[in-house]
Amino acid sequence: MKRNTAYLPLHDGKAPSYLFERMVKLSGVMTALIVEEYGAEEMLRRLSDPWWFQAFGCVLGFDWHSSGLTTVCCGALKEAQRRYGDIGIYVAGGKGGQSRKTPLEIIEISDRLGIGSGEDLVRISKLVAKVDSAALQDGFSLYHHCFFFTSSGSWCVIQQGMNEQTNYARRYHWLGETTKDFVCNPHAAIEDLRENQESFLGQSHAPEPCFPSRSSLLNMISPEAESSRQTCSLIAQENPQKTLNLISEIIEGPTLFAPSRHHLSTSDFYPVKLKMLHKALIAAYEREPKDFQSLLETPLVGPATIRSLALVAELIFGVPLCRKDPLEDFSKRVDGRSWADYSFAHGGKDGIPFPINPNTYDRNIEILEKALRKAKIGYTEKKEALKRLAQISQRTSPSA
């Protein structure tokens, strides 16, 4: 599993129509060129790299370090695929309510194109969202989920969460090419983009987001959480009322449920939330989860259920929780070049490093479109030459 993470601050405003229309064209032709030259799987690999994706957004002309870059760039790619048809990859999902339509969009595209793995892709999409919202509770609430896939069933995901206290976003990139385990050590890299901001702006002290306290973190995808994962699956197989009684006893005092304070009042969970939790426990009990992944895939099981079971595992059975932010496991990436440098290609929406020049933008789109047409013509010529060679070989081969 390759999974990367990036931080981005919240900016107000949206891409103006004159810019978004050009972003759609440029993102579409750039994607088609990459697919034509290197294959669709290579485009997925690049999208799964937060450094490359951020540079891509800068080339498209959005704010070089805004959290909106994620949603707008993904939206531009989705619109390009809708308008121009075959750009080599397919896009489902998006921001807010659009993210909840991801399964339907995957099935619609799969049925239209005859992709047999549509149901599997839907399951993966749902599981990826569950992992970053329930198995990893790091203080960032998911609000964007974009699923990219190919006709062969290859896929990657870009999703983003927001910390409402700090107004910083954390972006998660998934690549299915090397998927081994969805719930254990899925990260290949975590990248903190604040260092790049500092270099680009020439500042010695860039503003830093306030990370969640360890008491509220829950990291069930760490290798250190293996015992906790196993115990949660076993607890979920117990009588739901028995488990609910244990949880009710635990939440009478300070608990790990609180996202921003260290205590929980009865008004937080009584009566509605405990009833919802009870329903989730019943659903898990009936499913008889064989492992943590199948528990996570159970309908109704979400962040509260996972945190409840992990808390019971720690306080009743002595299985420690993992409260470590996954960012701590990775060193800072040094490339010698900042992704923000690519904002000099066309400028930025807010005039940084300079205002967008539509004429330059349009000229570059035209250049790339010509290059794509030539590439496709070259491919057609090669294919026709191979056909002629095959026909000659058949005519000159000895008869049986």
Kindly write down the DSSP assignment for every residue of 135-149, as one continuous string: IEESS-EEEEEEEEE
Between 55-59, 223-227, 331-335, the lowest mean confidence (pLDDT) is in 331-335
pLDDT given at position 394: 58
Average pLDDT over residues 376-398: 62
Which of 129-143, 156-170, 306-320, 374-388 has the least mean pLDDT?
Answer: 374-388
Q: How far is CA 298 from CA 7, 19, 222, 272, in A?
A: 30, 42, 21, 20
C-alpha–C-alpha distance, residues 118 and 141, integer Å: 27
> How high is the mean pLDDT of the chain?
81
Higher-pLDDT residue of 328 and 217 is 217
Residue 243 has pLDDT above 70, yes or no: yes
What is the C-alpha separation between 44 and 151, in angstroms, rounded?
A: 12
CB 324 within 8 A of CB 217: yes
pLDDT at 163: 84
In the structure, what pLDDT confidence band is assigned to residue 280 with cuts at 50, 70 and 90?
very high
Q: Out of 9-23, 80-94, 317-331, which region has the weakest mean confidence (pLDDT)?
A: 9-23
Can you tell me the distance from the alpha carbon of 106 to that of 63, in angstroms, rounded to the nearest whole number?
Answer: 29
* SS3 call for 46: helix
CB-CB contact of 56 with 73 (8 Å):
yes
Mean pLDDT of 47-71: 84
Question: What's residue 213's pLDDT?
Answer: 64
Best mean pLDDT range from 23-32, 242-251, 348-357, 389-398:
23-32
**Model confidence at 139: pLDDT above 90:** no
**pLDDT tens-digit series, residues 147-201:** 999 999 999 999 998 888 877 888 888 999 887 899 987 765 555 444 444 444 4
Asked if residue 1 has pLDDT above 80, the reply is: no
Mean of pLDDT values over 133-150: 93
More confident residue, 16 or 264: 16
By three-state DSSP, how is residue 350 classified? Answer: coil
Question: What's the pLDDT at 270?
Answer: 41
Tell me if 166 sits within 8 A of 141, measured CB to CB. Answer: no
Under DSSP, the state recorded for 101 is G
Cβ neighbours of residue 302 under 8 Å, at least 6 residues apart? 130, 133, 134, 280
Which of 322, 326, 301 has its CA nearest to residue 235?
301
Percent of the chain with pLDDT over 70: 74
Q: Pick the more confident residue, 399 or 142.
A: 142
Contact 158, 53 (CB under 8 A): yes
CA 246 to chain centre: 35
Which pLDDT band holds residue 376 (cuts at 50, 70, 90)? confident
Quick check: 105 and 74 in contact, CB under 8 A? no
Tokens (6 digits) for 143: 């609000």
Summarised one tens digit per residue, pLDDT across range 114-130 is: 999 999 999 999 999 99
Mean pLDDT of 312-326: 90
**Confidence band for 347, pLDDT divided at 50, 70 and 90:** confident
Q: If pLDDT is split at 50, 70 and 90, which confidence band does 259 have? A: very low
Query: What integer pLDDT is reported at residue 260 of this predicted model?
Result: 45
Residue 267: its pLDDT value, please?
Answer: 41
Top pLDDT among 366 and 263 is at 366
285: pLDDT confidence band, cut at 50, 70 and 90? Answer: very high
> pLDDT at residue 335 above 60?
no
With tokens 């498209």, the residue in question is: 60
What's the average model confidence in pLDDT over 203-217? 57
Q: How far apart are CA 80 and CA 368, in angstroms?
A: 15
Query: If pLDDT is split at 50, 70 and 90, which confidence band does 331 have?
Result: low
